[in-house]
Amino acid sequence: MKIVKYGLLLSSLYFLSGCATSGKLNNVSIGMSKEEVVTAIGNPVSVSAQGGIEYLNYRLSETHDNAVRGWTTPYYVRLVKGKVDSFGRAGDFDSTKTPTIKIQKDENVNVQNSSDLYSELKKLQGLRDDGIITEEEFQTQKKRIVNKY
């Protein structure tokens, strides 16, 4: 019976000592290296990175009671160029913000003049025939169009 009691006591102590509480974050400070953070609060549950930014993701209990129950909350430590830039509960600052990239799209469409010499002269002739332009204006515009092609 004594062996069972000691076994339960040892396993309880082992379990409790392995439960990290969020109070460990008090050991983290801006400018620390990744190695210093791991030494201070332990190995992260996961690591994610994008560009020069690295996130150490932790699951920490906010109280010892929560630790005993196994209740955890996500916390992170953000490293920029290998140094702590920010840390706290997930959702603080921009830690859960979806990375976005602004894309500017040039929607100007260059349309080349699809008319040809024949079409332009035909339009000009129609304007003259309808009396919209005079014969003199027709001849001036005709020279301009022919010189263009």
Q: Where are the domains of the chain?
A: 2-89, 117-148
- CATH number for the region 2-89 comes to 3.30.1450.10
- Cα(84)–Cα(146) distance, rounded to whole angstroms? 72
Instruction: Return the pLDDT at 91.
Output: 74
pTM above 0.95, yes or no: no
Which range (4-8, 20-24, 41-45, 110-114) has the least confidence? 4-8
Q: What share of the chain is helix, strand, coil (3-state, %, to 5)?
A: 40, 20, 35
